[in-house]
Amino acid sequence: MEKDKRAADKVKEQPVTYEIYAEMPDDGNRYEVIDGVLELMSPSPTASHQSIAVDLCFELKQSCRSDYLIYVAPLDVILSDTNVVQPDAIMIHRNRKHIVTSRGIEGPPDLAVEVLSPSSRKRDRLKKRAVYEKHGVPEYWIVDPEARTLEQFHLDENGKYELIQLYENDEQVVSSKLPCVSFAVSQLFGDVLQ
């Protein structure tokens, strides 16, 4: 009880660090730390959101599992002491598997993917995109269940994200940074309820 109270008091302090976040009692909610601010990820994802995330990981595993480690949320990605996020899916090249630790992923993955939800749309498009960009995540995808699209961003030579492609319908998702990637974007939306 005393430990829970101490953790709650520390969360009120700014900035919130990974250490404070890791000491928080489990209250059944999911949180992220973005630029030192604790953010509640609420409400929980919808069935459609989860279906898309699972189908995406299936497609990535089908084509990339020999070269990449593929993970699905919830899993902490510790980009810095004050930026701890839980992308919906991530890929890490096997030659960088040393960043996978008992705490989570410690460093930028090769790919971070966010599946938009009504409650996360703004955060995923603005805040999290800026955090991934700042910490050098080479490729970032935003999957939009409403539009049934996948937006593909690459870091440019100045370290800023550039929209490379907007995939829709049966267009084949490919990546110059992740050459194993190959699937039709429509595969992500096959089990989505209308």
Q: What is the pLDDT of residues 129-186, one digit of tens each?
A: 999 999 999 999 999 999 999 999 999 999 999 999 999 999 999 999 999 999 999 9
pLDDT in tens, 61-90: 999 999 999 999 999 999 999 999 999 999
Of the candidates 141, 82, 81, the one whose C-alpha atom is nearest the C-alpha of residue 110 is: 141
Omega before 118 cis (within 30°)?
Answer: no
pLDDT in tens, 91-109: 999 999 999 999 999 999 9
pLDDT of residue 169: 93
Q: Which amino acid is at 70?
A: I
This prediction's pTM: 0.91
CATH of domain 42-189: 3.90.1570.10
Indicate if the pLDDT at residue 42 is higher than 80. no
Q: Which amino acid is at 117?
A: S
pLDDT of residue 12: 64
* Distance separating alpha carbons of residues 191 and 54, to the nearest angstrom: 10
pLDDT of residue 191: 72
pLDDT of residue 190: 83
**Domain spans of the chain, in order of start:** 42-189
Indicate if the pLDDT at residue 8 is higher than 60. no
Check: CB of residue 35 under 8 Å from CB of residue 15.
yes
pLDDT in tens, 48-58: 999 999 999 99
Of the candidates 107, 89, 87, the one whose C-alpha atom is nearest the C-alpha of residue 97 is: 107
Residues whose CB is less than 8 angstroms from the CB of residue 126 and which lie 6 or more positions away in sequence, other chains included: none
